[in-house]
Structure 1
Amino acid sequence: MQPVLNVEDVRAVEQALTGEGVSLAELMRRAGNACAQEVERMEDVHQVLVLAGFGNNGGDGWVAAEALRGKGEDVTVVSPVSPDDIESNLAHVVATSARAAGVPIEVAPPRERLEALLDEADVVVDAMLGTGFHGEPKAPFDIWIDCLNRSGARVVSVDVPSGLSAQTGHAPAGGVMADVTVTMLCLKPGLLSDDGRDLAGAIVVAPLAEQTERLLVEADPVAWRVEAGDYLDVLVPPSSAVDKYARGSVLVVGGSERYVGAPVMAARAAARAGAGYVTLAVPDAIAAQVQAHLLEIPVVGLPTDPESGTFAADARDGLRRLAERSAAVVCGCGMGVNPSTMSVVSGLLECDVPLVLDADALNCLSRLTSGRLDSFPELLRRNAPVVLTPHRRELGRLVGQPDNPPDSLTAAMDAARRVVWAEGGSEICVVSKGTATACVGVEVALLPKPGPASLATAGSGDVLSGVMGASLARRRGAGEEGEEALPLVCAMACEVHGEAARLASKRYGSRGVMAGDVIEELGLATDAVEERASFPVEEQQG
Structure 2
Amino acid sequence: MQPVLNVEDVRRVEQALTLEGVSLAELMRRAGHSAAQEVLDLGSVTKVTVFCGTGNNGGDGWVAAELLHRAGVQVTVVTPQEPDDLKSSLALMVAKGAVAQGVEYWVGPSRDELDQLLAESSVVLDALLGTGFHGEPAAPFDIWIDAINTSGLRVVSIDVPSGLSAQTGHAPGAVVFADLTVTMIALKPGLLSGRGRDACGAIVLAPLADQTDRLVVEADPVAWRCDPADYIDVVPVPTSDVDKYERGTVLVVGGSKRFSGAPVLAALAAARSGAGYVTLAVPQCIATVCRTHLLEIPVVGLPCNDDGTFSVEAKTEIVRMAKERDCVLAGPGMGVNADTVSIVTGLLETDVPLVLDADALNALSRMTTGRLDNFPELIRREQPLVLTPHRRELGRLVGLSDTPPDSLTSALEAARRVVWADGGSDICVMTKGDTTACVGVEIALLPKPGPASLATAGSGDVLGGVVAAFLSRGLADEELLPLLCAMAVETHAVAGSLAAEQHGLRGVMAGDLVDVLGQAVDAFEERASLAATEDDGAEDAPA
Q: What's the CA shift for 1:111?
A: 1.3
- Which letter maps to 1:255? G
Secondary structure of 2:288's counterpart equals helix
- Which residue matches 1:445? 444
Which residue in 1 is equivalent to 2:539? none
Matches within 5 A, 1:231-270: 231-270=231-270
- For residues 97-108 of structure 1, what are the structure 2 equivalents within 5 Å? 97-108=97-108
SS of corresponding position for 1:285:
helix
Residues 1:429 and 2:446 are matched in the alignment: no
Q: Deviations over 1:321-371 (max 9, x none)?
A: 100000000000000000010011000000011100000000000000000
1:43 aligns with 2:43: yes
In 2, Cα distance between the equivalents of 1:481 and 1:464?
22
Structure 2 residue aligned with 1:147 = 147
Residue 26 of structure 1 corresponds to 26
- Partners in 1 of 2:506 and 2:476 — Cα distance? 37
Partner of 1:493: 488
Whole-Å separation in 1 of the counterparts to 2:429 and 2:187: 22
2: CA distance, partners of 1:22 / 1:438: 34
1:92 aligned partner: 92
Instruction: Find the counterpart in structure 2 of residue 385 from structure 1.
Output: 384
What are the within-5 Å matches in structure 2 for residues 204-215 of structure 1?
204-215=204-215
5 Å matches for 1:76-475? 76-306=76-306, 308-474=307-473
Residue matched to 2:522: 527
Residues 1:11 and 2:11 aligned together: yes
In the alignment, the residues of structure 2 paired with residue 261 and residue 43 of structure 1 have an alpha-carbon distance, to the nearest angstrom, of 52
1:426-468 CA distance string (max 9 Å, x none): 1100000001100000000000000111111000000000000
Shift in Å, 1:44: 2.1
SS in 2 for 1:286: helix
Which digits, 9 at most, give the CA deviation of each residue in 1:463-489, with x for residues without a partner?
000000001002x2xxx4421100000
User: Separation in 1 of the partners of 2:43 and 2:332?
Assistant: 50
State the alpha-carbon separation in 2 of the partners of residues 82 and 233 from structure 1.
56
> For 1:535, what is the secondary structure of its paired residue?
helix
SS in 2 for 1:292: helix
Please give the alpha-carbon distance, in whole angstroms, between the structure 2 residues aligned to 1:280 and 1:122.
Answer: 59
For residue 505 of structure 1, what is the amino acid of its counterpart? Answer: A
Unaligned runs of 5+ in 1: none
Structure 2: which amino acid aligns with 1:112?
Answer: D
Q: Residues of 2 paired with 1:221 and 1:460: CA distance? A: 30
Q: Secondary structure of the residue that 1:126 maps to in structure 2?
A: strand
Shift of 1:200: 0.6
Cα distance in structure 2, aligned partners of 1:7 and 1:316: 48
Secondary structure, aligned partner of 1:250: strand
Structure 2 equivalent of residue 505 of structure 1:
500
Q: Distance in 2 between matches of 1:44 and 1:508?
A: 37
- Please list the CA deviations of residues 44-100 of structure 1 after superposition, one character each: whole Å capped at 9, or x if unmatched: 221100000001000000010111111111111111111111111100111011111
Q: CA deviation at 1:531?
A: 1.1
Q: Which residue identity does 2:354 align to in structure 1?
A: L
Calculate the aligned-residue CA RMSD, in Å. Answer: 1.0
SS at match of 2:243: coil
Whole-Å separation in 1 of the counterparts to 2:30 and 2:214: 18
Matched residues in 1 for 2:83 and 2:258: separation? 67
| Aligned-partner residue type, residue 124 of structure 1 | V
Q: Secondary structure at the match of 1:241?
A: coil
Deviates more, 1:106-115 or 1:491-500: 106-115
One-letter code aligned to 1:496: T
Cα distance, 1:43 vs structure 2: 2.6
Please give the alpha-carbon distance, in whole angstroms, between the structure 1 residues aligned to 2:252 and 2:304: 16
Shift of 1:27: 0.4
Give the letter for the 2:525 counterpart: E
Q: TM-score, normalised by structure 1?
A: 0.98
In structure 2, the residue corresponding to 1:314 is in which secondary structure? Answer: helix
Measured in 2, the distance between the counterparts of 1:5 and 1:141 equals 27
Distance in 2, matches of 1:110 and 1:73, equals: 24
Post-superposition offset of 1:535:
1.0
Q: Percent identity?
A: 67
| Superposed CA offset, 1:347-396 (max 9, x none) | 00000111000000000000000000000001101110000000000000
Q: Distance in 1 between matches of 2:47 and 2:523?
A: 41
Question: Aligned partners of 1:244 and 1:69: how far apart in 2?
Answer: 66
SS in 1 for 2:405: coil
Q: Deviations over 1:162-201 (max 9, x none)?
A: 0000001000013000000000011000000011111011
SS at match of 1:439: strand
Match of 2:285, SS state, is: coil
Distance 1:163 1:384 in 2: 45
Match of 1:57 in 2: 57
1:320 Cα deviation from its structure 2 partner:
0.5
Measured in 2, the distance between the counterparts of 1:88 and 1:163 equals: 20
Partner amino acid, structure 2, of 1:149: N
After superposition, the C-alpha distances for 1:201-221 in whole angstroms (9 at most, x for unaligned) are 100000110100000000000
CA distance in structure 2 between the partners assigned to 1:233 and 1:76 by the alignment: 51
The SS at the match of 1:504 is: helix
Could you tell me how far 1:249 is from its partner in structure 2?
A: 0.3
> Which digits, 9 at most, give the CA deviation of each residue in 1:200-244, with x for residues without a partner?
110000011010000000000000000000000111111111000
Secondary structure (helix, strand or coil) at the match of 2:247 reads: coil
Q: Size of the alignment, in residue pairs? A: 534
Deviation of 1:138 after TM superposition, in Å, equals 1.0
| TM-superposition CA deviations, 1:231-269 (whole Å, max 9, x none) | 001111111110001100000000001100000000000
The one-letter amino acid of 1:305's match is N
